[in-house]
Chains A and B, each alone.
Chain A
Amino acid sequence: MRRAILSAILVLGLVTMLQISIASRIMLLSGNVDLLLLVIAAWALQERVQAAWIWGVVASLLAGIVSGVPWFIYLVGYLSVVGIARLLVHSVWQAPLLAMFAVTFTGTLELLMLTYVQRTIFQVPLAYNEVFSQIVLPTVLLNLLFAIPVHTLIRGLAERLYPEKEMA
């Protein structure tokens, strides 16, 4: 458990720094890639890891600290991502990349929808069609593009942190 928390803080801390310094500047229209979401999705899809929920909580807190979006939005969004991923990995899906795409797609849509609802409740004027074409579609596309390399990297990390012998 201690190792899970430590590794989560270290890896997700680094990913958060990469997100705010680089990934947030790489924009497609008004959308940008969400590295934290991709990392926790890929992590939760590794069958051998047992600390996926902790990673989800740590990622939510880190995103909540650096972002103007309230932390509970990230908490709900990222924990949903972990939940969907664990559901897929424990039930039917045996194709990891397909599962990664599915989790990325649904997780991105859900997080963006939550943010949209929160902003609307706070009376921020957002045109629905503009949000869809300028933010939702580009963000989903970017996240799907980055899903494969992130999944590959995280699988390697999971194999290092949780070697095969520990699975028994």
Chain B
Amino acid sequence: MKSSFPRTLQTAVIILVVIGLVTLALAGYFSPVTNWFSRITVNAQTWISDRYMAVVDFLTAPRNVAALLQSNTELEAEVARLQTQVIDLQQQVTETNILSALVDFARANPEYSYKAASVIGRDPSPFLRYVIINAGSNEGVLPGMPVVTDKGLVGRVDAVIGEAARVQLVTDAASAVDVRLQASNTEAMLVGSVTGELSLNMISQDAVVKAGDVVLTSGLGGTYPANILVGQVVSIRKLQSELFQQAAIQPNVDFTRLQFVLVITNFNPVNIAPLIGTPGP
């Protein structure tokens, strides 16, 4: 059976209907329908996408956590290594500064030869204020040699072995150093104590001593070279009933933080004991 409409007419009707629909759509008559449709489509698409990403996250997340943990561990190790490096470098800077100051001191006092040494220990007895340095007779260090830093007088070498020496600090109770007060040019005796404090004895009653006066070695006695800085006067004790004044001294050197010292190797201490003699009968 043949269609009642010719084929051409069918095509023309379809085209007209399509054009009409397009025209109506462009004119906005289908907006509610298209909005409803697009909303459903977008929601469905969003739901599918979210579920997909959730599945992907679920499948890939454990691997990422492991990778992150590994990365974190590596970074922590790196941070620790860098912190160690920073501490090492800070230590080196500190040591360089100290050594630089020692070099400056040696340049400022070229009349002496110096041997630099590190402080590697302290005497185990609490009665003694001695330190042990890592330079000994192999480096030309001998008993009696004075020991200084850029800040001033430290002490003198007490005993020596090949690679190390023991230094008696001026703060030791058995230490006695001939000094002079720079301002008044007065001689005095610097002595240590069990507590590590320094004091000046044998200051003449006539001498004018003030807090802040600089104390230098006098060179008398031949034990230490002259004009090495020792410290400053902190307080004075002057009693008319006593033969001499006394003074407390703040040392220029921080003896609790001694790290590096210089041994004066070309100073020969003089032994004046035979000149003192003993009282006759």
Contacts and interface: CB of A to CB of B under 8 A. Distances in A.
Interface of A: 16-17, 19-21, 23-25, 27, 29-32, 34, 36, 63, 66-69, 112, 115-116, 119, 122, 124-127, 130-131, 134-135, 138-139
Query: Which interface class (under 10, 10 to 19, 20 to 34, 35 or more) fits B?
Result: 20 to 34
Interface of B: 120-128, 130, 132, 158-159, 166, 168, 173-174, 191, 193-196
A24 B194 contact: no
Given A119-B173, A124-B174, A125-B173, A63 B124 contact: yes
Contacts of A19: 124
A34 B127 contact: no
| Main SS class of interface, A | helix
Main secondary structure on B side of the interface with A: loop
Given A68-B128, A68-B168, A130 B121 contact: no
Contacts of A29: 195
A124 B158 CA distance: 16
Contacts of B158: 68
26 contacts: A20-B132, A24-B122, A25-B122, A29-B195, A30-B126, A30-B194, A30-B195, A30-B196, A36-B124, A63-B124, A66-B121, A66-B166, A67-B125, A68-B123, A68-B130, A68-B158, A68-B159, A68-B166, A69-B123, A69-B128, A112-B127, A122-B174, A126-B127, A131-B127, A134-B195, A139-B126
A31 B126 contact: yes
Contact of B173 (A21, A23, A124, A139): A124
B120 A130 contact: no
B244 to A, nearest CB: 15
Given A68-B128, A122-B174, A24 B121 contact: yes
Nearest to A131: B194
B123 A66 contact: yes
A23 B124 contact: yes
A126 B173 contact: yes
Most chain A CB neighbours (cut-off 10 Å) among B121, B132, B193, B196: B121
A32 B173 CA distance: 17
Contact of A130 (B122, B123, B174, B194): B194
Contacts of B127: 69, 112, 115-116, 119, 126, 131, 135
B230 to A, nearest CB: 19
A128 B166 CA distance: 26
Contacts of A23: 124
Contact of B124 (A34, A119, A126, A130): A34
Which of B125, B173, B194, B195 gathers most chain A CB within 10 Å?
B125
A120 B123 CA distance: 18
Q: Which 10 residue pairs spanning A and B have beta carbons closest together? A: A20-B121, A24-B122, A124-B174, A68-B128, A69-B125, A135-B126, A68-B130, A31-B126, A21-B121, A19-B124
